[in-house]
Structure 1
Amino acid sequence: MGIQAVIVDTAGTTTDYDFIQKVLFSYSAEQMAEFLKENQQKVVVSHCIEDVKELAGEADADLDRVVTILLEWIEQDKKATPLKTLQGLIWRQGYTKGDFEGHVYQDALEGLKSLKEQGKRIYSYSSSSNEAQELLFQHSQFGDLRALFHGHFDTHVGQKVVSQAYRNIINTISMWPNLILFVSDNVEELNAAKDAGLKTCQIVRSDKVRIGKHPVIKDFSELKLSSF
């Protein structure tokens, strides 16, 4: 039967790390204080603020302290769900205002189009929120790419280095794990996916990437589903 669904990582796989770090992360850090001040009464934002306090173990933290914590987490690239949710909301403002556009590798675009034409289901899985992923692909330099995707997954299914997260994805997709291929540059993520029974492929765009025991491609032009 072969591979029927492909799950792609974003940063380092479909999207340049520099865009994530130098554009998106910087923008969210610059806008965080003002965004929380203006939107703290909104339900989603209010819940995120309370979740930050809980995760930080600072139940009595005021808004300025919450901002400081969030800025520290951005600097640390902490995979905290309330941070990622808030960043997604801030990035929506940035995309809508035209402050930046999403970056997608040319080979990723062509590869995803090919997979779609073959009738494969395509999903993305990122530490960023589902909304942030959708925004990136909606506002890419190639235009709106949302039609390529069957859906998106974020840390609500679990952390990307934990095998249970991939089991949760399997249950959501309702497909045998050996029919699903996960493509990422990150060895720990690939190891977790493999432990859950998924087929895996490591994309290595830089000599700085640590290579594991997974099939390797340098970009999506080398991805051949028949080899899995």
Structure 2
Amino acid sequence: MSENAPAWIVLDIEGTTSSTASVHEGLYDYARPRLGPWIEAHRDDPEVAAAVAETGGATTEETVAILHAWMDGDVKATPLKTLQGRIWAAGFAAGELTAHFFDDVPPALRAWHERGVRLAVFSSGSVSGQRPWFRHTPAGDLTPLVERHFDTVNAGPKREPASYARIAEALGAPPGELLFLSDVPAELDAAAAAGWRTIGVRRPGEPSENADFGAHPVVASFEEVK
């Protein structure tokens, strides 16, 4: 990292640190058949009850149908992310799930951390799902490296500049000292509009491989982040 290193690097997950397939085919497939039973078993849990209410479904069957439709459309709906995150956390704890990270990511996170750059995550996936994702990896427990977690609940939509302003305030750092890494140009645009530094991540085989990143610097590996 250069002398002009950021105070914080904030990471997207899907398509940036980890493959999209590992989420859509791994985590989504794990959560899909478990949504109904999980809702029934945790009706007295305030967070679950609130998420179910937000879907608008009158019955568990209707709620699950709505959640499945959101999953099919890759809708970043907060109630879905909340329920998925709880189910995934249980799956990781039970040893039934293991996170995927691109090979260049864990060494880079460790190197940045050792150099004094602080790390955070901003993902559409819920915070309750982010933490076990970083804890249960083939490269070991990465959670000691990541200080803060943000999602659409505590920060806001990822394509709105106001969300990045909230994160900057929460981190207590000027926007110009924050660097956001993402594979989604619209998210980078929003971060840049809030005064952040940005780098696009163009991973081979990922949905954004051929995306137009405009004026954002672009890397294919975290090894290129200088």
Paired with 2:15 and 2:210, the residues of 1 have a C-alpha distance of: 9
- 1:215 equivalent to 2:220? Answer no
Q: How does 1:53-92 map to 2 (within 5 A)?
A: 53=56, 61-92=58-89
- 1:133 equivalent to 2:130? Answer yes
Q: Which residue in the other structure is 2:49 paired with?
A: 46
TM-score by length of 2: 0.93
Please report the RMSD computed on the Cα atoms of aligned residues, expressed in angstroms: 1.2
Query: What are the Cα deviations for residues 9-66 of structure 1, in whole angstroms up to 9, with x where unaligned?
Result: 100111111100100011111211111111122211111111111xxxx6xx212101
1:174 deviates by: 1.1
1:206 deviates by: 2.3
Q: Which residue in the other structure is 1:193 paired with?
A: 191
Aligned-partner SS, 1:135 = helix
Structure 2 portions without partners, runs of 5+: none
Query: What are the Cα deviations for residues 185-219 of structure 1, in whole angstroms up to 9, with x where unaligned?
Result: 11000000000000000111126340312101110
1:170 deviates by: 0.7
1:101 deviates by: 0.4
Paired with 1:131 and 1:209, the residues of 2 have a C-alpha distance of: 31
TM-score by length of 1: 0.92
Indicate if the aligned counterparts of 1:185 and 1:209 stay in contact, CA closer than 8 A. no
- 1:34 equivalent to 2:37? Answer yes
Paired with 1:11 and 1:149, the residues of 2 have a C-alpha distance of: 16
Aligned-partner SS, 2:93 = helix
Paired with 2:69 and 2:19, the residues of 1 have a C-alpha distance of: 22
Runs of 4 or more above 3 Å deviation: none
Paired with 1:75 and 1:99, the residues of 2 have a C-alpha distance of: 23
Query: What are the Cα deviations for residues 148-181 of structure 1, in whole angstroms up to 9, with x where unaligned?
Result: 1111100021110111100110110111111110
Paired with 2:210 and 2:195, the residues of 1 have a C-alpha distance of: 23
Aligned pair count reads: 218
Paired with 1:96 and 1:168, the residues of 2 have a C-alpha distance of: 31
Q: Which residue in the other structure is 2:108 paired with?
A: 111
Structure 2 counterpart of 1:12, one-letter code: G
Paired with 2:212 and 2:222, the residues of 1 have a C-alpha distance of: 17
Q: How does 1:174-185 map to 2 (within 5 A)?
A: 174-185=172-183
Q: Which residue in the other structure is 2:22 paired with?
A: 19
- Report the identity percentage: 32
More helix by share: 1
Structure 2 counterpart of 1:173, one-letter code: L
Aligned-partner SS, 2:53 = helix
Aligned-partner SS, 1:200 = strand
